[in-house]
């Protein structure tokens, strides 16, 4: 069993570490300064958690023995959080990419049995080892770009064995690689070929044997679905969410991506952690999300790849104070993206988020979209997950297109990538 063979590779944590000569972008909600910025800062970690941070001149004497690391005047943010990915899959969809360049639409390809279903075929024939190897290469790219926590969804198996296979692979990466993985069960991603014409029958399986097996093995931290006219109706999603609630699992939803079907309001009724995509979200949906505390996860990589024309209603989300997270949606079809920094840039350029909003989207608000209160900000008591950046102004993180400005990644107080 591959689960047994792979063990956490993380080095043991040794003593206290102090990072100095650094500008901290704390992203704290308690801070009035933009980005919660502390110039001439220092930060101390012990046992994988932050034990002190502030201005270098105020470092308490009891931290003088800490192992000190100079950051050469560079910038530190919380480790980035990619709260929406489909990182585990077989094959790729480069042929469909070429078809789209010749004029076919994403929806047409999906309706003709391609799209998600072609990745389902490739994922079913792939072994767990093969899925692990390809997903791990993608994970490494994200990590070297500053990501310390990533969410990974199933949804390319669409039968009990293959959904379990995908989630086990995701769990293995979380157990072995120096990055935290949160898993999400997305059995309700598409209707597999063997259920053609019987969406309800497939939903019976998803809500029954499939979700039971996932819960029995504790393979999912949340339950997601694709609510869309080419996927599942709000009624069908409601059934799934009822079952998730019985099992005590939080929910999230792919909603209002290609059309408005009331998915965001439905997600809000179930106090969803997040509703994601949202290009076609209306004001009623925004209000419902605000009242429920549901995070809006914006996915500029999918918007860009599909050459969407509608942008998510960012002004309304601001008006009702709905927190906005940003993620890669990394997947073989609609968002073959391996850089969260590029999403920061696209969130600003395509969706007009301010550089501070965009950075909040991959830190504090990304953490909230996963229900994680122990990360996403630089604050005493939170995880010592950091990213170091070769920049002289925080807005450079939005300004730069491509490349990699990340010059260091610290996970649980230990440097894991440079
Ligand atoms: O988030 N919207 C549905 N699911 C994915 C696309 C998956 C695929 O095309 O393979 C998304 O965009
Ligand atoms: Fe997605």
Ligand 1 pocket check: which of 84, 88, 116, 274 to mutate, most ligand atoms within 8 Å of Cβ? 116
Position 395 confidence tier, pLDDT thresholds 50, 70, 90:
very high
Summarize pLDDT for 35-66 with one digit per residue, the tens: 999 999 999 999 999 999 999 999 999 998 89
Query: End-to-end distance of the chain based on CA atoms, in angstroms?
Result: 32
- Are the C-beta atoms of residues 298 and 324 closer than 8 Å to each other? yes
At residue 6, the pLDDT reads 38
Asked if pLDDT for residue 12 goes beyond 70, the answer is: no
**313, 281 Cβ separation under 8 angstroms:** yes
pLDDT given at position 97: 95
Index of the ligand 1 atom closest to the CA of residue 93? 10
Compute, in angstroms, the gap from residue 329 CA to the centroid of ligand 1.
8
Q: What is the pLDDT of residues 147-162, one digit of tens each?
A: 999 999 999 999 999 9
What is the reported pLDDT for 112? Answer: 87
Contact in structure between 52 and 60 (CB atoms under 8 Å) = yes
Q: Is 334 in the pocket of ligand 1 (CB under 6 A)?
A: yes
pLDDT value, residue 95: 94
Q: Is the pLDDT of residue 31 over 90?
A: no
Q: Whose CA is nearest to atom 9 of ligand 1?
A: 333
The 3-state DSSP composition of the chain as helix, strand, coil percent (nearest 5) reads 40, 25, 40
Cβ of 261 closer than 6 Å to ligand 1, yes or no, is no
Strands 252-255 and 274-277: parallel
> Can you list the domains of the chain with their CATH numbers?
16-78+377-417 (2.30.40.10), 80-369 (3.20.20.140)
pLDDT at 118: 96
Per-residue pLDDT band at 107 (split at 50, 70, 90): confident
408 lines ligand 1 (CB under 6 A): no
Q: How, if at all, do strands 222-225 and 180-188 pair?
A: parallel
333 labelled binding-site residue: yes
Q: Average pLDDT for residues 74-97, to the nearest whole number?
A: 97
Residue 257 CB less than 6 A away from ligand 1? yes
H or E stretch including 75?
Answer: strand 67-78
pLDDT at position 13 = 52
CA-closest residue to ligand 1 atom 1: 329
Q: Which helix (H) or strand (E) holds 82?
A: strand 80-82
> Does the interface ipTM go beyond 0.85?
yes
- Nearest-CA residue for atom 5 of ligand 1: 334
Task: For residue 93, say whether it is annotated as part of any ligand binding site.
Answer: yes
Q: How far is the CA of 351 from the centre of ligand 1 (A)?
A: 19
Q: Among 111, 254, 261, which residue has the most ligand 1 atoms within 8 Å of its CB, making it the best to mutate?
A: 254
Residue 302 CB less than 6 A away from ligand 1: yes
Task: Please report the atom of ligand 1 found closest to the CA of residue 329.
Answer: 1
**pLDDT attached to residue 64:** 80
Q: Is the CA virtual torsion 54, 35, 343, 187 positive or negative? A: positive
Among 186, 235, 232, CA closest to 211: 186
Q: Which atom of ligand 1 is nearest to the CA of 231?
A: 3
- Alpha helix stretches (DSSP H) within 84-152: 94-101, 106-111, 116-125, 128-144
Give which of 270, 269, 267 is closest to 257, Cα–Cα.
267
Percent of the chain's residues with pLDDT above 70: 97
Task: Say yes or no to pLDDT of 176 above 90.
Answer: no
Q: State pTM to two decimals.
A: 0.96
Of 12 and 83, the structure prediction assigns the larger pLDDT to: 83
pLDDT confidence tier of residue 14, bands split at 50, 70 and 90 = low
Distance CA 26, CA 33 (A): 10
Among 11-20, 122-131, 191-200, 320-329, which is the least confidently predicted range?
11-20
Measured CA to CA in angstroms, residue 311 lies from 108, 248, 348 at distances of 21, 34, 12
């Amino acid at each position: 069993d591959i689960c047994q063979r792979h063990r956490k590779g993380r080095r043991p944590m040794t003593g206290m570490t102090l990072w100095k000569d650094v500008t901290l972008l704390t992203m704290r909600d308690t801070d009035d300064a933009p980005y919660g910025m502390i110039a001439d800062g220092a930060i101390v970690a012990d046992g994988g958690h932050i034990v002190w941070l502030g201005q270098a001149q105020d470092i308490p004497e009891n931290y003088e023995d800490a192992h000190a690391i100079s950051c050469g005047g560079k910038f530190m943010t919380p480790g980035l959080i990619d709260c929406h990915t489909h990182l585990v899959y077989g094959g790729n969809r480069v042929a469909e990419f070429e078809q789209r360049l010749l004029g076919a639409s994403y929806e047409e390809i999906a309706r003709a049995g391609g799209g998600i279903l072609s990745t389902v075929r490739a994922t079913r024939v792939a072994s767990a080892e093969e899925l692990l190897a390809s997903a791990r290469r993608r994970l490494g790219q994200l990590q070297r770009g500053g990501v310390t926590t990533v969410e990974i969804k199933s949804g390319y198996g669409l039968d009990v064995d293959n959904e379990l296979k995908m989630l086990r692979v995701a769990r293995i990466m979380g157990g072995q690689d120096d990055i935290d993985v949160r898993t999400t069960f997305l059995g309700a991603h598409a209707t597999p070929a063997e259920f053609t014409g019987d969406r309800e029958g497939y939903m019976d399986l998803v809500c029954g044997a499939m979700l039971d097996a996932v819960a029995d093995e504790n393979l999912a931290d949340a339950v997601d679905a694709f609510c869309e006219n080419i996927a599942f109706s709000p009624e069908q999603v409601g059934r799934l969410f009822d079952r998730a609630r019985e099992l005590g699992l939080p929910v999230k939803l792919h909603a209002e991506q290609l059309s408005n079907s009331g998915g965001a309001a439905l997600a809000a009724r179930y106090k969803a952690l997040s509703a994601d995509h949202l290009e076609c979200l209306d004001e009623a949906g925004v209000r419902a999300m605000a009242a429920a505390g549901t995070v809006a996860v914006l996915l500029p990589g999918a918007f860009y790849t599909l050459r969407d024309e509608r942008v998510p209603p960012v002004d309304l989300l601001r008006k009702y104070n709905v927190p906005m997270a940003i993620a890669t949606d990394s997947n073989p079809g609609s968002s073959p993206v391996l850089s969260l920094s590029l999403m920061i840039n696209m969130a600003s350029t395509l969706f007009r988020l301010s550089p501070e909003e965009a950075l909040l989207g991959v830190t504090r608000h990304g953490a909230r979209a996963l229900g994680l209160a122990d990360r996403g900000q630089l604050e005493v008591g939170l995880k010592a997950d950091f990213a170091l950046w070769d920049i002289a102004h925080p807005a450079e993180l939005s300004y730069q297109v491509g490349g990699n400005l990340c010059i260091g990644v610290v996970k649980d107080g230990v440097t894991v990538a440079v």
